[in-house]
Amino acid sequence: MSFNQFEFFDLGYLDYLSYKDTFIHRIDPRAKLIVSLIFIITVISFPKYEISSLFIYFFFPIFLIAMADLPAKVIIKRIFIVSPFALMIGIFNPIIDRKVIITIYGLGITSGWISYFSIIIKFILTVSTGFILIATTSFPGICLALEKLKVPKVFVLQLMFIYRYIFVLGEEVVRTMRARELRSFGKKGYELSIAGNILGTLLLRTIDRSERIYQSMCSRGFTGNINLSKKINFTLTDLLYTLILSAMFIVLRFFSGSYAVGRMLLGKGS
Amino acid sequence: MSHHIIEAQDLYFVYPDGTKAINGISFKIIHGESVGIVGSNGAGKSTLIMQMNGFFLPTSGSLKIGATPVNEKTKVDIRRHVGLVFQNPDDQLFMPTVFDDIAFGPLNLGFSKEEVEKCVDESLKMVGCLELKDRPSHHLSLGQKRAVSIACILSMGPDILVMDEPSSFLDHRSRRDLINLLKKFTHTKIIVSHDLDLILEVCERCIILKDGKIQADGKAKDILSEENILKQNNLELPLTLQKNNILK
């Protein structure tokens, strides 16, 4: 497998999307962050055999994708890329938990399968929300929101530097890999020793770079504290957005929305 | 107290591994002068620059910025008077957006928020990049990154500008813009570069370094047209002066 540089540069695509200008993009980053967190917490808090109540929650990512004019394909593709994690986490549930709880046309469905399926739904919901948050909020915006929400500055700064230099480091990796590929004449060349050398070189370069960055910070008066000076306004729209969505998530947590919608569709009333 | 003057007296610097990078340099650069420092690879140019900002302190001899000698105590203060523009803008622009980056220095100097806003706008206007204000640094082209790096330094209102290879990574158009920009500045300027044509255009004075010693110091036009001196120091005539020879 050769190193796919285009796949890597795709990383920056969500970042590009976050500089669009739609209703969702304009909402205060704090509001979006809080709503996403509440969404994730409520989704995770469902008991492990719950499936039907979760479906109604898909309205949130779909609503955001539609409102923020995001390409759904891109989000779905990314969910697939990280899915092995979730698939592996629950893989033993069907094997260990073999109690049959429902029988459909003679086919017994064990509780293991149900909990596995529930994990996957929760995974899709939470991960897509995370991606959408990144695609609708610029990263500096998220950092600013975290800082205003009193997250310790050390963490915020770490995130900020990661965001700033992940692209630089990535390009360096791409260049190094390209240089290796150009001189390995079709051989795989991924022997452990070479990979080790490349990693070592990258590490040394990173250390050198961090030293230069530190010098650059010092030459601009850095004394151990970084001030983020941006002002952001939390408007009425932001407040309504936060309150309405959060309330909706929490209400749906206790009253199954899927059930209500199902009854309505079947014309039974409630 | 004026900080526009740089004076080195019998300056020596030895790296911890024993490499003698600077071997007895003396010079005086006065207010408003623009000086090009040239020399082959490993001549000690970058080491000299790092001394002016107090990152490396002299092993012996002294270096004074204005009347203040560079030492452990004064280096923090000196850094606000000497603005250093790095060779690689990616090292210099470490904040997520252009605004944050330019505001970094002024905020550390304790400016108020309104002052910072004003300062950022002014320095971006000076380099002609006001429209980049809210862009993330890593989305910029190299020419834009260079301009923004210079703006970051200008925002602190330094007396002396020190630049390491300002024209590296730039295409011809961006290089030309940079030269025009540098010509406009009235600060004391020190430019280290292999781009002798840039030095010829921007600087009145030129210092040639070799093995950590000064080989020549004088008017840029005189020194950079002396083929013999240049050859002895592993340099060549600037391209603008070469053209006539080739077409002969």
Mean pLDDT of A7-22: 74
pLDDT of residue B88: 87
Q: Which domain holds residue A179?
A: 152-226
Best A216, A218, A223, A226 residue to mutate vs chain B (most B CBs within 10 Å):
A216
**C-alpha B233, offset from chain centre:** 21
Question: Tell me, what's the pLDDT at A4?
Answer: 47
* Probe site for chain A from B70, B76, B90 (most A CB atoms < 10 A): B90
Mean pLDDT over B127-153 rounds to: 89
Predicted confidence at residue B199, as pLDDT, reads 94
- The alpha carbon of residue B158 is apart from the nearest alpha carbon of chain A, in Å, by 10
Confidence of residue B195 (pLDDT cuts 50, 70, 90): very high
Chain B: residue whose CA lies nearest to A221: B108
Residue B171 in domain: no
The pLDDT of residue A5 = 47
- Which residues of chain A have a CB within 8 Å of the CB of B103? 227, 229
Residue B117 lies in a domain: yes
Tell me: do B73 and B106 sit in the same domain: no
Tokens of A196: 């080790």
Residue B78 has pLDDT above 70, yes or no: yes
Contacts of B138 in chain A (CB under 8 A): 164, 167-168
A141 domain-assigned: yes
Enclosing domain of residue B74:
1-81+160-165+186-248
Residue A196 — pLDDT band, cuts 50, 70, 90? confident
**How does pLDDT run across A110-162, given as a tens digit for each residue?**
888 888 999 999 999 999 999 999 899 988 888 889 988 888 888 888 888 88
B202 and B248, same domain (yes or no): yes
Q: Is the pLDDT of residue A6 over 90?
A: no
Q: Quick check: B244 pLDDT over 60?
A: yes
Can you tell me the mean pLDDT for B40-59?
Answer: 89
Cα nearest neighbour of B85 on chain A: A216
ipTM, interface predicted TM-score of the complex = 0.74
pLDDT band at B205 (very low <50, low <70, confident <90, very high): very high
A chain contacts of residue B76, beta-carbon cutoff 8 Å: 218, 221, 223
Q: Which residues of A touch B (CB under 8 A)?
A: 15, 138-140, 143, 160-161, 163-165, 167-168, 209, 212-213, 215-223, 225-231
Do A29 and A78 lie in one domain? The reply is: yes
Considering the domain architecture, whether residues A28 and A143 belong to the same structural domain is answered as yes
Average pLDDT over residues B6-34: 92
Sequence-ordered strand ranges (E) for chain A = 100-104, 107-110
Together in a domain, B77 and B98:
no
Helix/strand/coil for A168: helix
- Is the CB of A220 less than 8 angstroms away from the CB of B108? yes
Query: What secondary structure does DSSP assign to A4-51, as a single string?
Result: -HHHHHTHHHHHHHTT--SHHHHS-HHHHHHHHHHHHHHHHHS-TT--
Mean pLDDT over residues A183-212, rounded?
79
Which of A34-38, B34-38, B134-138, B169-173 comes out lowest in average pLDDT? Answer: B134-138
